């Protein structure tokens, strides 16, 4: 429950910020660029104006903080016990999605030179980050958010099998789950891996539906039904992620090859843009 409230808070803050900023500058953003200098709010709304300049500073700061804090939490062992890694990732995603959106508003939807390079790198990093989040949730993890080893995965599969297969129905459920995923062919090419992701998602939904129907037809009590379905559902998800694990590791390799270079280029061009801005005398309210 607390986690859902936390996620709702992040969505609420992000959504509210985007709506407020969008409404506040709607008339300016929808005015053709050649006509904007004649608007009364031009000096405030232009990229170097106090309002838009502030959006750029806030957005860039959010991106910097989001990348720095998540990378530090992920790589410094002393911080590994400081909250779940998945929660840090959620804050990282929140900051690194809302931040670029504010930067886009800062540009008033036009950019050139170094600023344009930084902007498009930022958009590429944000877009690839969404894909990275999808891949991240496919990897089996423990309660702290750390990736499970293959031995730990096998131990958990054995535990779930033993808890489920204590009756003829339980054995049928285990066989149904395992056979459904084993029937899916393994991909050999990169593009086929994305097809596998879709097939596995569909298979998981189909298996959970079949499991629910098999349990519903039994004469088990309500509590027994809920307990068995919960265990079967957990095994279904874990089997799905186990089948996908080798392919996800390959996709993560290619993802890092795209995400990290764009991130580095983004920060280099951002630093260059900020330096040029300061040298030209645009120092916001300072």
Query: Is the separation of the CB atoms in 141 and 238 below 8 Å?
Result: no
Query: Is the separation of the CB atoms in 243 and 181 below 8 Å?
Result: yes
pLDDT digits (tens, 9 = 90+) for 83-112: 888 888 889 999 999 999 999 999 998 877
The pLDDT, as a whole number, for residue 25 is: 93
- What are the sequence ranges of the domains in the chain? 2-144+254-279, 150-251
Architecture of domain 150-251: Orthogonal Bundle (1.10)
Residue 196 has pLDDT above 80, yes or no: no
147 forms beta bridges with: 141
Looking at per-residue pLDDT, the higher value among 239 and 32 belongs to 32
Looking at per-residue pLDDT, the higher value among 46 and 216 belongs to 46
Q: For residue 239, how many other CB atoms are within 10 A of its CB?
A: 23
């Amino acid at each position: 429950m607390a986690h859902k409230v936390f996620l709702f808070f992040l969505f609420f803050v992000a959504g509210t910020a985007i709506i407020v900023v969008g409404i506040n500058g709607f008339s300016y953003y929808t005015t053709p660029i050649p006509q904007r200098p004649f608007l009364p709010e031009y000096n405030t709304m232009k990229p170097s104006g106090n309002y838009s300049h502030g959006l750029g500073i806030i957005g860039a700061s959010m991106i910097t903080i989001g990348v720095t804090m998540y990378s530090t939490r992920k790589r410094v062992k002393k911080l590994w016990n400081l909250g779940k890694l998945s929660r840090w990732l959620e804050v990282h995603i929140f900051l690194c999605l809302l931040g670029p959106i504010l930067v886009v508003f800062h540009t008033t939807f036009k950019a050139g030179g170094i600023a344009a390079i930084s902007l498009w790198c930022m958009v590429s990093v944000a877009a690839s980050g969404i894909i990275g989040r999808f891949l991240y949730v496919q990897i089996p993890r423990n309660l702290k958010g750390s990736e499970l080893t293959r031995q730990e995965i096998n131990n958990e599969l054995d535990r779930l099998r033993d808890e489920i297969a204590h009756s003829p129905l339980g054995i049928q459920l285990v066989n149904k789950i395992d056979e459904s995923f084993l029937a899916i062919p393994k991909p050999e090419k990169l593009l086929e891996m994305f097809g596998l992701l879709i097939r596995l998602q569909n298979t998981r939904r189909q298996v959970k539906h079949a499991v629910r129907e098999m349990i519903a037809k039994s004469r088990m009590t309500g509590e027994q039904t809920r307990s068995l379905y919960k265990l079967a559902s957990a095994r279904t998800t874990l089997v799905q992620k186990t089948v996908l694990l080798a392919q996800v590791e390959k996709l993560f390799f290619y993802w890092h090859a795209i995400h990290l270079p764009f991130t580095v280029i983004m920060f280099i061009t951002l630093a260059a843009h900020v330096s040029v801005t300061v040298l030209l005398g645009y120092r916001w309210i300072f």
